[in-house]
Every structure is written in C-alpha cells, then in structure tokens.
C-alpha cells in the first residue's frame, strides 16, 4: 500500500498532466495520491476523473504555498474548497505575480550572460513558462546548464536572484490561514529543507501551530531515517500528524525523485506505518470542518 501526498503536475511545474500522473500512480499500485501544485488547485478534479479506472486509488485535493520567510518554507493544504473566494484571490494574485516575474527573470539572466528568450522558455515547456523549473528546463535544452539543479544553483536560487528577482510571497501564517479558511488542513512541507537549528525550528513550529498548522511532512524523499524519526517525535510533542510525500515533479525536473518511493526508495516504509499515516491523515480531513 503506497501513498504519496506531495506531487506536482503541469498545472504548476510538474512534467506530467494530472491524468498522466494518476495513470502512473494507479499502475504503481498507489492507494492514496494528493496533487499539490504550487498555488493551483485545478489538477485535483482532472486527477479524480482519471482515477475512476483505478477503484483502489483515492485522489486528494491539495496545494503547496511558498512563504516569504525562507525560500524553502512551504505549506501544503489538503481537502480545500477550491472555489473559496479567499483561496481564489490568493491563486489569481500569485498567478499574476509569477507572470510578472518572467520579465525580471529574463532580464536577470541576460545580465548574467544567459541570453534566454520567452519563446525559448515556452518552446521547452509545451507553451508553459511561469515557474522557475520551466526556465531551468529551457536552459537545459539550450545547453547552458547540464541539469535543472545546476540552473538553480547558478542562477535561479542564488541570494542575488532571491533578493532582486523573486516574487512577493505571503507569510507562512497567512498561507495557513487561507488554507484553514478554505476548509483545508495545513501541513508543513519538507521541514529539513529549512536547514534550521533545532531551537530555531521549534520556535517557528510553535508560531505555525498557533496559526493552525496540523501536520508535518516527516516522511519526505530527501529526509534521512534519523530526520524522519526526529520529526515524528516532534510531531507527537506538538500534537501534529505526520504525512509522507515524494515531491515528484517528473524525471526531467527532479530526476532523482520517484513517484511513491522517493529518492533511492527512501519512502519505502513499513506497511503498518503507512496505514497509520493514512488513517491519521484521513482523520484530520474528516474533522476539519469542526476545526476551522
């Protein structure tokens, strides 16, 4: 019984359409899949329709929101009402801000000696272009870098890029509030990516819990077993549930991350544990209306 509660599709910066992702998940025998596109919820419904041919596969609605405090501070929202007005405002605003960032990105790259055009970015990404991975893929196609990771390390995630080019983002507390208002459950994504000392991490976690955080992605592709155990222990202390997600984007964008199983099988967890994680996740989802 596999689960994967963190995946991306072409509705944001993933390689596969929601339909393609669901077919892959179904064929792998995944029983619980959440589509968590960046600032977008449009993939869930498409995924659910595609999942009808896999009666054992349940598709959960999701979203991933980036917060301004730290480039890796991301909040996952599950079971949200995609039509909630506050969520719609958030999604539209972020779509605009991402589109607005494109020109700044092209100018920044030009300045760094990378003569990329919007047409090239579009052409490399089936007509889609607003996410940073789309730019990275175009650079890869043009031979400017030899991997998506290199594009981020050299250009798209440097301190200078983050300071001068990045789009404005909400705070994590605001993201949690939007998710809760839209009837969803808020989960802290990939906590180890924050690279915080334990004391700073716990301080942040207290603030997020105060705002309505309910879960933590303890089981993440790049977490070590030790990190997984530590986050589970912390989750217990803070009354949070744990989730398991790969952050699958497709082989071109994140070649080392496999759907359902993570990095080198890092998410191949004991059957009972996955069952328990899924049960706790579903419990949080079914209780959410009384908790908002």
- CB under 8 Å to 21, separation ≥6 — which residues? 7, 9, 14, 33, 35, 43, 47, 248, 259
Indicate the residue among 203 and 251 with the shorter CB distance to ligand AMP.
Answer: 251
Q: Which of ligand AMP, Fe ion, Zn ion, none does residue 152 bind to, with CB < 5 to 8 Å depending on kind? A: ligand AMP
Does 133 contact ligand AMP by CB under 6 A? yes
Smallest CA-to-CA distance from 5 within 77, 89, 107 is with 77
CB of 88 to Zn ion, least distance (A): 21
Indicate the residue among 40 and 80 with the shorter CB distance to Zn ion.
Answer: 40
Does 131 contact ligand AMP by CB under 6 A? yes
Does 39 contact Zn ion by CB under 5 A? no
Does 152 contact ligand AMP by CB under 6 A? yes
Which residues in 239-268 contact ligand AMP (CB under 6 A)?
249
- Interacting stretch for ligand AMP, rule CB under 6 A, among 43-51, 131-139, 178-186, 234-242? 131-139
Neighbour tally for 164: CB within 10 Å: 12
Tokens 């996955």 map to which residue? 274
Which residues in 37-56 contact ligand AMP (CB under 6 A)?
38
Does 13 contact Zn ion by CB under 5 A? yes
Indicate the residue among 20 and 276 with the shorter CB distance to ligand AMP.
Answer: 20
CB of 64 to Fe ion, least distance (A): 5
Question: What residue ranges bind Fe ion (CB under 5 A)?
Answer: 64, 74, 189, 247
List phi, psi (to 5°) of 85. Answer: -55, -40
CB of 43 to ligand AMP, least distance (A): 14
Does 13 contact ligand AMP by CB under 6 A? yes
Q: Which of Zn ion, Fe ion, ligand AMP, none does residue 109 bind to, with CB < 5 to 8 Å depending on kind? A: none
Structure tokens at 156: 């798209």
Smallest CA-to-CA distance from 132 within 151, 150, 114 is with 151
Positions that interact with Zn ion (CB under 5 A): 8, 13
């Amino acid at each position: 019984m596999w689960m994967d509660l963190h995946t991306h599709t072409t509705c944001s910066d993933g390689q596969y359409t929601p339909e393609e992702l669901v077919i892959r998940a179904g064929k792998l025998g995944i029983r619980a899949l959440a589509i968590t596109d960046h600032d977008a919820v449009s993939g869930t419904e498409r995924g659910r329709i595609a999942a009808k041919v896999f009666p054992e596969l349940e598709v959960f609605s999701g979203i991933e929101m980036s917060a301004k405090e730290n480039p890796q501070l991301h909040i996952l929202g599950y079971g949200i009402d995609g039509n909630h007005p506050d969520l719609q405002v958030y999604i539209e605003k972020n779509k605009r801000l991402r589109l607005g960032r494109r020109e700044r990105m092209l100018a920044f790259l030009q300045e760094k000696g990378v003569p990329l055009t919007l047409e090239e970015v579009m052409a490399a990404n089936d007509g889609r272009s607003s996410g940073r991975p789309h730019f990275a893929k175009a650079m890869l196609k043009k031979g400017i870098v030899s991997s998506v990771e290199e594009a981020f390390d050299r250009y798209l995630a440097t301190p200078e890029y983050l300071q001068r080019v990045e789009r404005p983002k909400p705070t994590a507390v605001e993201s949690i509030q939007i998710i809760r208002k839209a009837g969803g459950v808020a989960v802290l994504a990939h906590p180890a990516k924050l690279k915080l000392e334990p004391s700073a991490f716990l301080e942040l976690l207290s603030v997020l819990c105060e705002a309505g955080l309910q879960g933590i992605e303890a089981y993440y592709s790049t977490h070590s077993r030790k990190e997984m155990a530590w986050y589970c222990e912390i989750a217990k202390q803070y009354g949070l549930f744990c989730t398991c997600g790969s952050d699958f984007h497709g082989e071109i964008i994140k070649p080392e991350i496999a759907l359902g199983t993570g990095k080198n099988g890092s998410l191949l967890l004991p059957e009972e544990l996955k069952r328990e994680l899924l049960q706790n996740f579903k419990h949080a989802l079914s209780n959410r209306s009384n908790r908002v």
